[in-house]
Amino acid sequence: MNRIKVINEPSELVPMLRSVDTPTKRDVLKEVTLEWRTADEIEAKYGPEGREAIMFFDKMKLVESRWMAVEGKSFPEKSYHTFYTSFHINAQWPVYEISDVLAAAMMSEEEYADIEARIIQEVGPSGRFSGDVAEALGLTSTMLKSLVRRSVKMDFRGHRIELKREE
């Protein structure tokens, strides 16, 4: 089945750009495009960074998962495969929006960790309306959306930002 991801909002580019920002992520993405793989298989081949990559793809909704019997194990394991076969990008956005998106996607890990921690502190354990968080931190709504979409620790639920719960 062909599934096409249509990107209509600039902040949706962030997960795409971050999904190929390291050689390991690129390789893992190619691997799960070809076959279903478990996180253990990915980690055995690519190390801990490979497992982090597959968890990142899962949070970004770039992969689908299913339970699969694994040879030598008495219980099924969650396996992953890319969800989309292609992407369609509608790229007509104002410069100020796309500049926020690219800045969030290309920000260094250290700088991002600092701002991610500030966002998480503003959001708190029960979540918070994204407009209030943007105002409190002095960010544009596009920048905030881009930063949240980059994170594996939080996600949007409608117009609220909530912390991602461990499965």
Could you give all domains of the chain from N- to C-terminal order, each with its CATH number?
A: 4-89 (1.10.10.10), 95-163 (1.10.10)
Sign of the four-CA dihedral 56, 59, 64, 69 = positive
Residues 142 and 101 sit within 8 Å (Cβ to Cβ)? yes
Beta strands in 3-159 (DSSP E): 4-7, 37-38, 63-68, 77-82, 86-89, 128-129, 154-157
pTM listed for this prediction: 0.75
How high is the pLDDT of residue 166? 61
Token readout for 91 is: 């790229």
How high is the pLDDT of residue 122? 95
How high is the pLDDT of residue 81? 94
How high is the pLDDT of residue 66? 92
pLDDT along the chain (167 residues), means of 10: 82 86 93 92 94 90 89 86 86 86 92 96 94 95 93 90 79
Task: Measure the CA–CA gap between 102 and 117, rounded to whole angstroms.
Answer: 20
Task: Measure the CA–CA gap between 143 and 103, rounded to whole angstroms.
Answer: 8
How high is the pLDDT of residue 23? 93
